[in-house]
Amino acid sequence: MAVALRREKLYTPEEYLALEETAEYKSEYFKGQIFAMAGGSANHSRIVSSVNALLFLSLRGRGCETFNSDMRLLVKANGLYTYPDAMVVCGKPAFLEGRTDTLTNPIVIVEVLSKSTQDYDRGQKFELYRALPTLQEYVIIHQDRVYIEHYRKLLNGRWELSELTEQNDLLLIHSLKIELSLPLIYERADWLAA
C-alpha cells in the first residue's frame, strides 16, 4: 500500500466511493484512508492482458466471468476496497448494494507484482483477501522473471503454496478446472526492460 493521499481526515466508505467516481486515477481504501495505486510497466500490462484473455477464453460457456482491474473489489469483513489485476466469479456476481462497480464474491484473484507493491501484495493484501469467504485461489505473477506463486485454499481452511518457475510449466487453477500455460502468460514479456 502506498502512502495515504489525504491525511487530514479519515474518510467513510461512502465518501471514498464518491471521490472515486470523479477521480482521474484509481485508489485503494482501507480503515478510512485513501491510497493512490501505482502505475504499471509495459511488462505488467502485457501479463495482465494475457491473463485476462486466457481466463476469458478458458471459461467461455462455463458460468464463470472474468473481471479486469477496472472492477473494484470490496472485502466486506475488513473494509478493503481495491482493484485486483484479474478476478473470476462463478455463478451470479455479487455487488455492493446499489452498485455495479464493486464486486464482493470472487473465487480467484490474480495480481501481477510491481516493485513498489510486491511486499504488500504478498503480505498484508493477501491477508486481507483471505477474509473473502468465496476466495479459493490467489495467484501472484512476477513480471521480471518466470515465477508464479499460486495459493490454494484447502478443505481444512489452510492455504497451500505452489511455485512455478519453469518457462513450460502449467498453472492449474483447481477451482476453475483450467490450466494456463506460462509461455502464453509471459508471451510478450521483455525481460531486458524489467
Question: Could you report the per-residue pLDDT of 55-107, keeping only the tens digit for each?
Answer: 999 999 999 999 999 999 999 999 999 999 999 999 999 999 999 999 999 99
Residue 51, CA distances (Å) to 97, 158, 172 in order: 29, 26, 13
Q: Is 84 or 120 the better-scoring residue by pLDDT?
A: 84
Is the pLDDT reported for residue 150 higher than 70?
Answer: yes
Closest listed residue to residue 122, CA positions, set 103, 104, 144, 139: 139
CA 10/CA 22 separation, integer angstroms: 19
Residue 7 has pLDDT above 70, yes or no: no
Average pLDDT over residues 109-133: 89
- What structural domains and CATH numbers belong to the chain? 1-37 (no CATH), 40-185 (3.90.1570.10)
DSSP calls for 6-54: --SSPPPHHHHHHHHHH-SS-EEEETTEEEEPPP--HHHHHHHHHHHHH
Asked whether 174 and 88 are in contact (CB, 8 A), the reply is no
What is the average pLDDT value for the chain, to the nearest integer? 92
Strand stretches in the chain, DSSP E: 27-30, 33-36, 64-68, 72-75, 80-82, 86-90, 102-103, 108-112, 137-141, 148-153, 159-164, 170-173, 178-181
- For strand 102-103 and strand 86-90, is the pairing parallel, antiparallel, or unpaired? unpaired
DSSP state of 119: H
Measure the CA–CA gap between 72 and 17, rounded to whole angstroms: 10
Q: Which residue has the cell 469483513?
A: 77
The pLDDT value given to residue 192: 64
- DSSP SS3 for 177: coil
Residue 146 has pLDDT above 60, yes or no: yes
